[in-house]
Amino acid sequence: MGAKVPRAIIMFTVFLVVVSPTFAHHGKAAYDTKTIVTVKGTMTDFRFINPHVQLYFDVKNDKGEVEQWQAELTAPNKLTRAGWSKHTLTPGDSITASGYVSKNDPHTMWIDKLIGPDGEQLHLSEE
Amino acid sequence: MRIGLRNLMLGFSVACALSTALHAQEGAQSADRASAAPKAEAAPAPVHDLTGVWMMRNPPGSQRAFTNYTFTKDPPEMTPWAEVKFKEAKASNGGQFTLKTTNDPVLTKCDPPGVPRVYFHPYPFEFVHTPKYTLMLYEYDHTVRRIYTDGRPIPTDPDLLWMGTSVGHWEGDTTLVVDTVGFNDKTWLDRLGHPHSDQLHVIERFRRVNRDHIELDITMEDPKALVKPWTTTFYYELRPKWELGEISCSGDYLDFSNFEK
């Protein structure tokens, strides 16, 4: 426990520091940045493209219905420097995504924390 | 467990304070300069060599969040001609925009960014020296500047280009001074939309203060747009392990309709 707390602090600090520059191309005005939402899903498509990497995944809601979600990350170049590749996620992978949800679409998210299929948190910052 | 919780809360407070400091748009530039003084143990800068990949890195605690979108905390003093153009601009600053709310020509039309607007993309750039010129390669949209260092004078009747025409020379062992003229007037100076004319003259002084850091003094002179020169200092850090990738402003770049509903 003692070893994990500082890591959590570091990650949170990193998030706060880098969050502005990551909204580089189009802005974050479309997102509700005051609320963090977390969902578990199964990847259906992964597009490692400019200007922002896109994730598409299915989420089973409380009623057992399948919701189709889409989410974006930062630029692929930045993720490459953070250790990603176009093969980092593939359809069928289980993920847990936390982030800001679009003000006008409850199934569109800007991800700021992502747990990959092996249960490890994926780095979203090149620094 | 209690200690862990206390540590977590302490860390949260520190993180919040740090974030507030970094995102605040206040802070005297003189204080920024003082805090950017190189550490004693930093390796010295090589002679006449800026080779490598560089990333903007404001000095810790310097409160320069404005450098995401403009040059100084306070706006420049503009001429009436520039004031009219500035009122037409819909800023793309700080992320609080969508592609429908800004008219930044870079973001909405993929226009080349111009100089020094090019420094407001959150991506690295690379210096490549050759015997007669130095290349600046910006990761954003394959943007290239060719800075002639063969002794030719700055052109007096330049063609008007997106990125201008640049000549450079070394002052001392570690400062590259770059003069750029010949801009068209279609680009902005910053992401707030401060305009310039085709009379813009940009002077960049890349001071490699040690192996890992460049301090870039930027001076913008434009008698048609600015009442007096607009000056700032930006800070960059070497990234030895980074390589530039491709970021092309085309196709998908202009369409975020699915994510900006």
Nearest to B198 by CA among B172, B160, B232, B231: B160
Search chain B and give the residue with CA nearest A109.
B259
For residue A9, name the pLDDT band (cuts at 50, 70, 90): very low
B220 touches B189 (CB < 8 A): yes
Mean of all residue pLDDT scores within chain A: 84
B206 touches B126 (CB < 8 A): no
pLDDT at B249: 87
B168 forms beta bridges with: B178
Per-residue tens of pLDDT for chain B, all 261 residues: 333 434 433 443 433 333 333 333 333 344 444 445 555 578 999 999 999 999 999 999 999 999 999 999 999 999 999 999 999 998 887 666 777 788 899 988 899 999 999 999 999 999 999 999 999 999 999 999 999 999 999 999 999 999 999 999 999 999 999 999 999 999 999 999 999 999 999 999 999 999 999 999 999 999 999 999 999 999 999 999 999 999 888 766 666 677 776
The per-residue pLDDT for range A87-120, each reduced to its tens digit, is 999 999 999 999 999 998 999 999 999 999 999 9
- Which of B22, B95, B96 is nearest residue A17 as measured by Cβ atoms? B22
Q: How far is CA A60 from CA A69, B26, B198, in A?
A: 10, 46, 57
Total count of residues recorded for chain B: 261
Contacts of B55 in chain A (CB under 8 A): 127
Contacts of A26 in chain B (CB under 8 A): 97-99, 107, 256, 259-260
3 state DSSP class of A112: strand
**Nearest 5 degrees, angle CA B250-CA A51-CA A16?**
150
Q: How far is CA A67 from CA A33, A40, A94, A98, in A?
A: 22, 11, 15, 16
Tokens 């969040």 identify what position?
B65
Higher pLDDT residue, A125 or B233? Answer: B233
Displacement of CA B10 from its chain's centroid (Å): 34
pLDDT at B248: 87
Distance CA A23, CA A102 (A): 14
**Chain B CB within 8 Å of residue A16 CB:** yes
> Which residues does B104 contact at the CB level (< 8 Å), separation at least 6?
B89, B90, B91, B92, B188, B191, B193
Contact B256 A17 (CB under 8 A): no
Structure tokens at B130: 């050759």
Nearest to B198 by CA among B210, B187, B209: B187
Over 70: is that where the pLDDT of A49 sits?
A: yes
pLDDT at B88: 93
Cis peptide before A21 (omega within 30 of 0): no
Picking from A20, A70, A79, A103 by the largest number of B CB atoms within 10 A of its own CB, the best residue to mutate is A20
3 state DSSP class of B195: strand
pLDDT at B34: 43
Distance CA B250, CA B243 (A): 21
Please determine, for the modelled complex, whether the ipTM score is greater than 0.85: no
pLDDT at B22: 36
Tokens 């922002």 identify what position?
A52
> Which residues does B227 contact at the CB level (< 8 Å), separation at least 6?
B76, B77, B78, B79
B117 touches A69 (CB < 8 A): no
Search chain B and give the residue with CA nearest A33.
B96
B239 touches B55 (CB < 8 A): yes
**What is the identity of the amino acid at B48?**
H
Contacts of A29 in chain B (CB under 8 A): 95-98, 101
Distance CA B96, CA B105 (A): 16
**Chain B CB within 8 Å of residue A34 CB:** no
The per-residue pLDDT for range A11-35, each reduced to its tens digit, is 444 333 333 344 456 667 789 999 9
Looking at CA atoms only, how far is residue A9 from chain B in angstroms? 6
Contact B14 A9 (CB under 8 A): yes
B178 touches B204 (CB < 8 A): yes
